[in-house]
Amino acid sequence: MKRQVLLSVLNAVLIPALFAQPGLGSEVDSDLVRESPTSLIPKIHRVGELIPDLSFEDVDGKKGKLSDYEEQEAIVIAMQSVDCPLSKKFTPVLGRIAEAYESLSVTVLIVNPMEHEAREKIQAWRKKTDLKPRYISDGAGVFGRALGALTTTDVFVLDRSRTLIYRGAVSDQYGLGYSLDAARSNYLKDALEAILEERSPEVEATTAPGCALDLPEPGRKTKKSEVTYHNRISRILQRNCQECHRPGEAGPFDLLTYEDAKGHGAMIRRVVEGGTMPPWFSSDQEIGKWGNDRRLAPQEKKDLLTWIANKAPEGDPKDAPLDRNWTEGWTLGEPDEVLRLPLSMDIPAEGTVPYRYIKLRNRFDEDRWVRAMEIRPTAPENVHHVLVFLTYPKDHPRAKDQPEYRGGRNGFFAGMVPGQSSTVYSPHLAKFIPRGAELTFQVHYTTNGVRGRDRTQLGLYYADEAPTHEVITQGVSNPRLRIPPQDPNYESKAQFKFRQDSRILSLLPHMHVRGKAFRYDLVYPDGKSVELLNVPTYDFNWQLIYQLQEPLDVPKGTVMNVTAWYDNSPGNPANPNPNTEVRFGEQTWEEMLIGYFDWHVR
C-alpha cells in the first residue's frame, strides 16, 4: 500500500512516523502495517486488580462514580476518540452491546481520553451515531491512567467488586490495515458472558489496535500505606495461590481469608522472596514466553512483600473482590468418560512408598479422540504425581504406531503433576486412544502422618470428530545413564531428530531426587542452535509442564538435545545414598533422564 493511501486510511492520528522519509533507505515495520489483537500477559496489565472508585462528570453535566454501579453484574469502560478511524468503526458495535446487555445488568460507559476533543465535537458524534451509553470526557487522563489504557480502542470489563476481569480489544473485526465482514473473535462479548456465568474469560487481555495514547505504562504504583488485604492482596492470592491452597487440594494450608493470609505471612514472605512460590523454575527473565507462567508479576511481588512488611493491614471489606466459585470435583466439567483404578490404594502414615503400577483395560467399542483430560485423586494430599501410559491391542490396525513404554520413556498418554491436573488441547488437536487399549497408571504416593486411601480416576473429554493434527508426547531419554558415586555435578545427554516438519507445544523435564538442572536445545538443519528451555534449579517436588505461549515450528532434520545434571554427593540432602552408582530406573531412589515434549506433525 502506498504511503499516502495508508496515511489517509489511518487519518494521520495513529502511531506517528510509521514510515521513514522517501529515499532514506529505511524499511517499513510490517507489524505496524497490519496489526490484529494479540495476547497480553494479564497480570502485567492490571487484570485481577481493584480499580479505584473513579469519579466523573459526563458530557451531559451529570456527576457519578463507579460505585454507583455496584449492583450491576459488570461495567464496561470503552475508550473512544471521535477522530480515530478504528475507534469510530467500533461505535455501532459498542452501541449494540450496550443495548443487548442492559437487561442483564451490564452498564457501558464510553470514555474519551483525548484532551483536544471538545464536548461539542463529542456531542455531535453522539447525535450522528445515535450512541446511547453514558459518555465521559476524560481529557485529564484520569480513567486512562487508572486502567492502563494503551489505545483509543481499549475496553475494560469490571465485575461488581470493581475487579478488572478483561482488558483489550472489542473484537478482531477491525485492525490496523484490515477490515473483516464479521469478527472471528468477540473478546468483549465473551468476557461478558463469562462474568454472567461466574467464570473467568478464556482470553483475559489483548492488545487493541488503534490510536496510541501517551499515558504512563500500565502497572499499579502503590505507596506502602495503600496496600491492604482487601484492596490488593486478596486478588493476588485469588489469582495465583488459591487453586492449590484451598480445602481438598494439594496446598498444605488454605489462603482463602484475611486470617489465613496474615497467619501465614512469614512463610509467604520466605517462599516469595526465595522464588519458590508460585512454583516456576525456568530461567527466562521476561514473563510471556510460556502460556502457563506461574510467576508473580513484579508489581504483585512488590505489593505482597510490602503488605507483609507493613504488618498485614486488612483494609476496608468494601474493597474485597467477589468470592471465587471454585469448581468442586472435575475442574473441566463432567467428563464424557471416567476411568477409575479397579481398587482403592492404602497409603501408610509415614515412610516412603514405592511407585504403584495399576493396569486397567478400557472397554471402548471404538477408537476415540481425546480433546482434554483430567486426573483426580480422591486423596490429593497423598498423591505426588500420576502418569498414565497406553499399550495398544496387538490386533489393532495401528498397533505398529504404539510407542514403546520402555520404563516410562515413551507411551505417555496423560499425567498429573504438582500444580497441574488437567490438559486441554487447542481446537483441531487431540490425542488418540484405541479401543481395547490397556492403561497403566504409575502413581507416586507420599505420606503425611496419617493413613490414607486413594482411588485415582482419569476423566476423558472426547472430540466430536477426528482432529486436524494428532498430539504426540515424546520422551527424549538416556537409559544408559550411570551416575558415579560422590559426583556433585554429573552431566548426561540425549537427543531426538524430527523426521518431518513439526510443531512443538510443551515441555516436561523429568528426573528424580538427584536431579539438579535440565536444559532443552534445538539444532536446526543449517547448524543454528537455540536454547528452548533452561531449568537451572530442578525440583523433583514440582515437575512442571512448560507450555509455549506460541507453538514453535521446526523443520524436518531439526535435532532436540536434552542435557541433565545430577548431584549424587553427600551435599544433596535428598540423596538416598551418595556412595553408590545410580542407574536409570523408575523408582525415586533410581534416576531418570527424560525430556518429555508434546508435538504434532505439521
For the chain, domain boundaries: 32-196, 224-319, 337-470, 474-601
CATH top-level class for 32-196?
alpha beta
CATH top-level class for 474-601?
mainly beta
Sorting pLDDT into bands at 50, 70 and 90, what band is 409?
Answer: low
Q: What is the pLDDT of residue 34?
A: 67
Q: What is the pLDDT of residue 588?
A: 82
Is pLDDT of 9 > 60?
no
Helix (H, G, I), strand (E, B) or coil at 249: coil
Q: Which candidate, 428, 427, 429, 431, places its Cα nearest to that of 458? A: 431
* pLDDT tens string 179-215: 888 888 999 999 999 999 999 999 999 999 988 887 6
β-pair partners for 158 = 75, 164
- Residues counted in the chain: 602
Residue 445, judged by CB atoms within 10 A of its CB (0-12, 13-18, 19+), counts as buried
**Cα 257 from chain centroid?**
24
- 259's enclosing H/E stretch is helix 258-263
- 356's enclosing H/E stretch is strand 356-361
**Are 32-196 and 337-470 the same fold in CATH?**
no
Q: What is the pLDDT of residue 263?
A: 85
**Cα 602 from chain centroid?**
24
Q: What is the pLDDT of residue 143?
A: 94
Report the predicted TM-score, pTM, of the whole model to 2 decimal places.
0.76
Query: Residue 93 to residues 97, 131, 145, 324, 599: CA-CA distances in angstroms?
Result: 6, 10, 24, 30, 39
All three cell numbers of 214: 501517551
**Percent of the chain at pLDDT exceeding 90:** 60
Residues 492, 475: Cα–Cα separation, whole Å: 15
* pLDDT tens string 470-479: 999 999 999 9
* pLDDT tens string 121-159: 999 999 999 999 999 999 888 999 999 999 999 999 999
All three cell numbers of 488: 556433585
Give 501's DSSP letter: -
The highest-confidence range among 272-276, 327-331, 417-421, 524-528, by mean pLDDT, is 524-528
- Residue 139: partners with Cβ closer than 8 Å, 6 or more residues away: 112, 113, 114, 115, 116, 117
* pLDDT tens string 246-290: 887 777 788 999 999 988 888 898 889 888 899 899 998 778 889
Which residue type does 174 have?
Y
Q: Given 2.60.120.230, 3.90.1010.10, 3.30.70.1140, 1.20.140.10, which CATH number is that of 337-470?
A: 2.60.120.230
Residues 287, 213: Cα–Cα separation, whole Å: 24
